[in-house]
Chain A
Amino acid sequence: MYKNNSVWRLFASVKLALVTLVLIAGTSIIGTVVPQNEAIEWYAGKYGPEISQLIAILDISDMYGSWWFLGLIYLLCINLVICSIDRFPGVWKQIQADGLSFGEERLGKMSNRLSWEVKSSATQVSSRLEERLSGKGWKAKRKTTEEGILLFGQKGAWTRTGVYFVHASILVIFLGAVIGAIGGFKGFVMLPEKQVTDKIGLYGGGLLDLGFAVRCNSFSIDFYANGMPKDYTSSLTVIENGQEILTKTIEVNDPLTYKGITFYQSSYEPYQDFVITVKNPRNGAEKFFTVPFQKQVNWPEEGLRFGVINAKMRDQSLVSSKIWFTDDKGSPTTVWADDGAQTTVKREAGEYLISAKQMYATGLQVAKDPGVWWVYLGCGLMMFGLYVAFFMSHRRIWLLITETEEGAQILFAGSANKNRPGFESSFVELTEQLRDQ
């Protein structure tokens, strides 16, 4: 039979699992010490030609994706599968085991057992005990044998499968990783404010067509009083076939997802330029302009000229700017305004609303990972399995009632596959409840 095959025995063995665990844990250290994903020349410069050659051969520059590291992971998976196939039938047998086939001989050997005598007849006692057991949540089965009447009850037989949930969960997580690697991508785009893109750069190299476009409406950064960054937010709009589909303000920990593709706030880049927005409340005209520092722009339709002539910065961020503004009727207006804050400019012709903010590009991490739900499912299964494997047990109890001259003798026995001390105390408690009266 295949189970006696020595290759099968090797792959079913816990020994192999131990060796594989050591190898995976041990080699994982390499990638935490040797910087990853550098060019080969970099390694040559740092470690010398011989070692850098070794690094190239063994794929150390990308060791967690290397053939030998993935090989170790596959080995662990195969080990797990074979081990489970090897052992599960035995576990299943124990789950299905017919407790009613146990005779006095086996019950007499159990470490949790007690016997006592009663005056009533065996049939009477057995019905009473059965009732009391069911009151305690033990649905007992009954069988009459040569030895007497046997009652059998069990709880948590299925918990014997707990370890298998844990082991299966590891496979599910790896499955999710594979699905993500095949069907997903990771990329990045640095998108300046007011601009639209339908392509992103992939980390593996190359451009990816999203199939729709994203516009960065605005980016803003907020600081705490001590100068630490408090919030990065970007307002993004998804545009498909020329239509604006949805707009969302994203921040770190709160991304935007459309068609399975998720945009994460990841970084930003400040520019020297400004975004000036001007509104004429009298005719409702409003327009924004991207303007370099100390350069003048025209809005010919409204007959306006304006620019930023001075700015207060903290680190690389604009605090306030001095806006120069004219409609060529009278002398130009200058006004200080906080970054992005709307100010009113009074001219002879009437008021204008104007704001100037520093221009940024928002750095978006873009990812699609259809495997992530498998990974989460695996994680859930793992926690469930660990709980079952460690904190739940299969508990079984038997009552053998035999006829005697004065009435009946009762043999009460029980066993649990785990947490024996805990079972012992509940066994004692149950004994008391069954015995009194």
Chain B
Amino acid sequence: MDSSQLLGITTFTYLFASFLYIGVLLFKAGKLGVAATAFTVIALLIQTAGLALRWIESYRMGIGHAPLTNMYESVLFFSWTIIIFYLVIEWKFKTRTIGAFAVPLAFLATAYASFAPIDKGITPLVPALQSNWLLAHVITCFVGYAAFAIAAALGIMYLAKKRFGGRDKTGSTSEVLPDLKILDDIIYKSLIFGFIWLSAGIITGAVWANSAWGTYWSWDPKETWSLITWFVYAFALHSRYTRGIKNETIAWLSILGFLSVVFTYYGVNFLLAGLHSYGSG
């Protein structure tokens, strides 16, 4: 059994868990809930084993490094952090409905890693990447991204609930969704959490750049986009202090912010050129 097999199994387990969570939401089948959580936890464990095995495999190849150095590995790590973040929310806020939005996200990420035409090989590190700051940089960024992904999923839930929740009282899906106030609270907390990690991610990236090139900030497209993303979330956090900003604004901003995250992480590699171009492929 090698790591890519384990990670392939993970993909299908997340898919299955996604169906269970969606089932819980659509058919109010509360009993499925335990199974949904169980399969998610199992998938997470398999994925953890897969990532650990990949790490070990890289050492067997004599080029040992943490599995966080190309698109394939970072997408997998991204889905891993999304699931952890989601499970913590499920446990803290005692609601499974969010899973119908969050677990499919993790599935999409692992499916992309497995099926997209990207390099899945374990490659050695070019000199610029041989730094402990790389590890700190990637981990902090992706923990932040995971929080923002969940916040965006919650934002969609918020808007869906707002649109449909009031009108039909027939006991439809939107009624199963948590209260707007609770959603707003979790969105805000996820944004805070993500903001701290994104800040740390930008800072560790700057320190790394300075130790490798003598410039902590060079306005290359990836850096600039991460800063744009940071400003979007700074905007979201401050929007609460202004009257005249509507309640659902923060939901919209959590979605907009995540689009910016996706562009920073993914779009920049393919649409714009820069220092970080090693990330493509």
Interface check B219, CB cutoff 8 A: yes
Which B residues are CB-close (under 8 A) to A229?
126-127
How far is it, in angstroms, between the C-alpha of A367 and the C-alpha of B127 when the chains are bound?
A: 20
Closest Cβ neighbor of A166 among chain B residues: B199
Least CB distance from A144 to B in Å reads: 41
Least CB distance from A380 to B in Å reads: 9
Q: Do B199 and A18 touch (CB < 8 A)?
A: no
Least CB distance from A224 to B in Å reads: 5
Which B residues are CB-close (under 8 A) to A21?
231, 234-235, 238
Least CB distance from B209 to A in Å reads: 10
Q: Do A266 and B124 touch (CB < 8 A)?
A: no
How far is it, in angstroms, between the C-alpha of A229 and the C-alpha of B211 when the chains are bound?
A: 19
> Contacting chain A: which of B36-44, B169-177, B220-228?
B220-228
Q: Do A186 and B196 touch (CB < 8 A)?
A: no
Q: Do A253 and B124 touch (CB < 8 A)?
A: no
Least CB distance from A185 to B in Å reads: 10
> Contacting chain A: which of B51-59, B112-120, B200-208?
B200-208
Interface check A382, CB cutoff 8 A: yes
Q: Do B127 and A252 touch (CB < 8 A)?
A: yes
How far is it, in angstroms, between the C-alpha of A17 and the C-alpha of B268 when the chains are bound?
A: 27
Q: Do A379 and B203 touch (CB < 8 A)?
A: yes
Which B residues are CB-close (under 8 A) to A24?
231
> Contacting chain B: which of A48-56, A235-243, A301-309, A383-391?
A383-391
Residues of B234-270 whose CB lies within 8 A of A: 234-235, 238-239, 241-242, 268
Which A residues are CB-close (under 8 A) to B277?
none
Interface size class of B (residues with CB under 8 A): 35 or more
Interface check B128, CB cutoff 8 A: yes
Interface check B232, CB cutoff 8 A: yes
Interface check B95, CB cutoff 8 A: no
Interface check A3, CB cutoff 8 A: no
How far is it, in angstroms, between the C-alpha of A300 and the C-alpha of B232 when the chains are bound?
A: 71
Assuming the A-B contacts A32-B225, A390-B196, are A365 and B238 also in contact, with contact meaning beta carbons closer than 8 angstroms in the complex?
no
Which B residues are CB-close (under 8 A) to A376?
207
How far is it, in angstroms, between the C-alpha of A266 and the C-alpha of B218 when the chains are bound?
A: 15
Q: Do A253 and B214 touch (CB < 8 A)?
A: no
Q: Do B214 and A262 touch (CB < 8 A)?
A: yes
Which B residues are CB-close (under 8 A) to A33?
272
Which A residues are CB-close (under 8 A) to B206?
375, 379
Interface check A369, CB cutoff 8 A: yes
Q: Do B126 and A228 touch (CB < 8 A)?
A: yes
Which A residues are CB-close (under 8 A) to B239?
18
Closest Cβ neighbor of A376 among chain B residues: B207
Q: Do A226 and B213 touch (CB < 8 A)?
A: no
* Chain A interface, number of residues (Cβ within 8 angstroms): 46
Q: Do B215 and A253 touch (CB < 8 A)?
A: no
Assuming the A-B contacts A228-B126, A252-B130, are A32 and B224 also in contact, with contact meaning beta carbons closer than 8 angstroms in the complex?
yes
Which B residues are CB-close (under 8 A) to A230?
124, 127
Q: Do B211 and A253 touch (CB < 8 A)?
A: yes
Which B residues are CB-close (under 8 A) to A390?
192, 196
Q: Do B127 and A383 touch (CB < 8 A)?
A: no
Residues of A48-93 whose CB lies within 8 A of B: 64
Closest Cβ neighbor of B272 among chain A residues: A32
Which A residues are CB-close (under 8 A) to B211?
253-255
Which B residues are CB-close (under 8 A) to A210?
none
How far is it, in angstroms, between the C-alpha of A229 and the C-alpha of B129 when the chains are bound?
A: 11
How far is it, in angstroms, between the C-alpha of A164 and the C-alpha of B213 when the chains are bound?
A: 32
Closest Cβ neighbor of B220 among chain A residues: A32
Interface membership of chain B positions 127-170, coded 1 if the CB is closer than 8 angstroms to chain A and 0 otherwise: 11011010000000000000000000000000000000000000
Q: Do B268 and A32 touch (CB < 8 A)?
A: yes
Least CB distance from A230 to B in Å reads: 7
Q: Do B63 and A372 touch (CB < 8 A)?
A: no
Which A residues are CB-close (under 8 A) to B215?
186, 367
Assuming the A-B contacts A21-B234, A22-B235, A36-B219, are A372 and B242 also in contact, with contact meaning beta carbons closer than 8 angstroms in the complex?
no
Least CB distance from A219 to B in Å reads: 13
Q: Do A386 and B127 touch (CB < 8 A)?
A: no
Residues of A378-402 whose CB lies within 8 A of B: 379, 382-383, 386-387, 390
Hey, which bits of chain A sit against chain B, CB under 8 A? 14-15, 17-18, 21-22, 24-25, 28-29, 31-33, 36, 64, 177, 186, 224, 226, 228-232, 251-255, 262, 264-266, 365-367, 369, 372, 375-376, 379, 382-383, 386-387, 390
| A and B contact pairs by CB, cutoff 8 A, 21 listed | A18-B238, A21-B231, A25-B227, A25-B231, A31-B219, A31-B224, A32-B272, A33-B272, A64-B219, A177-B217, A224-B124, A226-B124, A230-B127, A251-B127, A252-B128, A253-B130, A255-B211, A375-B206, A379-B203, A379-B206, A382-B199
8 shortest A-B CB distances, which residue pairs?
A: A367-B214, A25-B231, A252-B127, A32-B221, A379-B203, A14-B241, A253-B131, A224-B124
Hey, which bits of chain B sit against chain A, CB under 8 A? 63, 123-124, 126-128, 130-131, 133, 192, 195-196, 199-200, 203, 206-207, 210-217, 219, 221, 224-225, 227-228, 231-232, 234-235, 238-239, 241-242, 268, 272
